[in-house]
A = this chain, B = another copy of it.
Amino acid sequence: MTKAGVNGKPKVAFIGLGAMGRGMAIQLLSEGFPVSGFDVNPMSLETLLAMGGTAAPSPRECVHDASFFICMVANATQIEHVLFTESVGAVFGLKKDATIILCSTVAPGFPQKILDQIHHRFCRPDINLVDCPVSGGTLRAAQGTLTIMSSGAQNALRLAHPVLQSFSQALYTIDGGLGSASKVKLINQHLAGVHIAIAAEAMGLAATMGINTKQFYDIVLKSPAHSWMFENRVPHMLCNDWSPHSALSIFVKDLRIVTSEGLNENFPLYIASAAERLYQFAARAGYEKEDDSGLVRIFIPQNLSLISEATHRESHAADHERTSRMICLILSIVHGVAAVEALSLGIKLGLSIKALNSIISNAAGASKSFAAVATAMMGQQIAPIRTLTQSRDILKQATVIAQTYDYPLQITTTTLQLLQQAVARGLGDQDQAALHVLWNPLAL
């Protein structure tokens, strides 16, 4: 077995060759790293083999002689399984001084727990570990242009970076030690999860209120209502394409990580939790293995094709303009309040808004409102968009209109309640960033 590639690059073991992992492994190969792969599903190895990689029969054999072991399985349970399973686990085959790169999205406390076990329970204090969650989706994984957050001991990061660079466009080092990168990923997933859910809520409302959904989509892209997820996921809704570009079950898991962290910190996550329940309802309705954009179907069960049918609809120009404007405002305001909730959690977890802003602006959690709120929360003067009282009144009016359709505004209503609370507490004249005190009540 090759110890190093022809160009002297060290061997990389790659476990977890799903939609994301496959793209990353192929980038490694094309950069000249010898790659040995393992996946419980042998089909997942085919592309790797075709591109010159090798296949291993177990995690233990996969990591043999590899300087780096990238773990890109679906969740924490699978990581423990891959590493620690009696006799075939990777921990029994790790090369001296090897570096483990955990790329899965996990709870921030998890990487340290794993490293402690490797060092103490398995008596391998020579092993390095970094947590390197990624963002960007399968397309950017295949292009080698992912956003990667990394944290861990200095030495481990120094070793891992040349490998990580091969599949990233933007590679960030997060201060604060092992787990800090997972904290940043958690904030990104909070936003990304909420943005898909509010995109679904908004598109269901647009279709229910009778406007042309394709035209509405085009309007959002050019407006302050834009989010990365809206742009990326709504096209699937517009053509009823529920094939799993990214399975809904991923956000059931990722929002569970987000809200669990909120519970640990006694930190109420009103909006993330409202979104989580939508994903849970959708998963229970049988949409778990399909694309996360398919969440929209719980809003339109009477006609699951309503959004795509409405792409051909002719709507009265004045109605279309009024309704589009209203739903764009819902999106902007919800994105903004979600940004305050997510950034407040970030502060609570010890992260800097500056770091979160620069990373998330290039990741799946990005939105125009997020950028504005983050800038304001960093204390920079920006032209105020609207006061909290104005935002509240806009969402009140939207809620009254949606009620005439008995349309369930799960996330919009939750956002409205936070605005009502803030106005009642005397913050009505301020802008969205002032909502931060809702998560820091003793500061008021």
Query: A residues within 8 Å of B by Cβ?
Result: 252, 256, 259-260, 263, 266-270, 273, 276-277, 280-281, 283-286, 298-302, 392, 396, 399-400, 403, 406-410, 413, 416-417, 420-421, 423-426, 441-442
A417 touches B266 (CB 8 A): no
Note all chain B residues with C-beta closer than 8 A to A252. 406
Other than A259-B403, A268-B416, A284-B302, give 17 A-B pairs with Cβ distance below 8 A. Answer: A260-B400, A263-B396, A263-B400, A266-B392, A268-B420, A268-B421, A273-B417, A277-B409, A280-B406, A280-B407, A281-B408, A284-B300, A285-B301, A286-B301, A424-B442, A425-B442, A426-B442
A417 touches B256 (CB 8 A): no
Q: Which of B284, B300, B406, B441 sits near A408, CB closer than 8 Å?
A: B284
A277 touches B403 (CB 8 A): no
Q: How far is the CA of A128 from the CA of B438 in the complex (A)?
A: 48
Q: How far is the CA of A392 from the CA of B263 in the complex (A)?
A: 10
A347 to chain B, nearest CB (A): 14
- Per DSSP, are chain A's interface residues mostly helix, strand or loop, or mixed? helix
A299 touches B277 (CB 8 A): no
Determine how many copies of this chain the complex contains: 2
A387 to chain B, nearest CB (A): 14
Most buried by B among A259, A284, A286, A301: A284
Q: How far is the CA of A280 from the CA of B205 in the complex (A)?
A: 13
Q: How far is the CA of A270 from the CA of B415 in the complex (A)?
A: 11
Q: How far is the CA of A283 from the CA of B405 in the complex (A)?
A: 11
CB-nearest residue of chain B to A396: B263
Note all chain B residues with C-beta closer than 8 A to A269. 417
Q: How far is the CA of A286 from the CA of B260 in the complex (A)?
A: 33
Note all chain B residues with C-beta closer than 8 A to A392. 266
CB-nearest residue of chain B to A438: B421
Q: How far is the CA of A168 from the CA of B315 in the complex (A)?
A: 51
Q: How far is the CA of A260 from the CA of B404 in the complex (A)?
A: 11
- 28 A-B residue pairings within 8 Å (CB atoms): A252-B406, A256-B406, A259-B399, A259-B403, A260-B400, A260-B403, A266-B392, A266-B424, A268-B416, A268-B417, A268-B420, A268-B424, A269-B417, A273-B413, A277-B408, A277-B409, A277-B413, A280-B408, A281-B281, A281-B408, A283-B406, A284-B299, A284-B406, A285-B301, A286-B301, A286-B302, A424-B442, A426-B442
A266 to chain B, nearest CB (A): 6
Note all chain B residues with C-beta closer than 8 A to A423. 266
Q: How far is the CA of A190 from the CA of B405 in the complex (A)?
A: 20
Note all chain B residues with C-beta closer than 8 A to A426. 442
A2 to chain B, nearest CB (A): 43
A270 touches B403 (CB 8 A): no
CB-nearest residue of chain B to A419: B268
Q: How far is the CA of A407 from the CA of B283 in the complex (A)?
A: 10
Note all chain B residues with C-beta closer than 8 A to A410. 277
CB-nearest residue of chain B to A281: B408
Q: How far is the CA of A263 from the CA of B403 in the complex (A)?
A: 12
Note all chain B residues with C-beta closer than 8 A to A281. 281, 298, 408
Note all chain B residues with C-beta closer than 8 A to A284. 299-302, 406, 408
A256 touches B403 (CB 8 A): yes
Q: How far is the CA of A284 from the CA of B268 in the complex (A)?
A: 29
Q: How far is the CA of A53 from the CA of B434 in the complex (A)?
A: 64
Q: How far is the CA of A256 from the CA of B227 in the complex (A)?
A: 31
Q: How far is the CA of A392 from the CA of B268 in the complex (A)?
A: 11
Say whether, besides A302-B286, A403-B260, A441-B425, A420 and B280 are in contact (CB < 8 Å): no
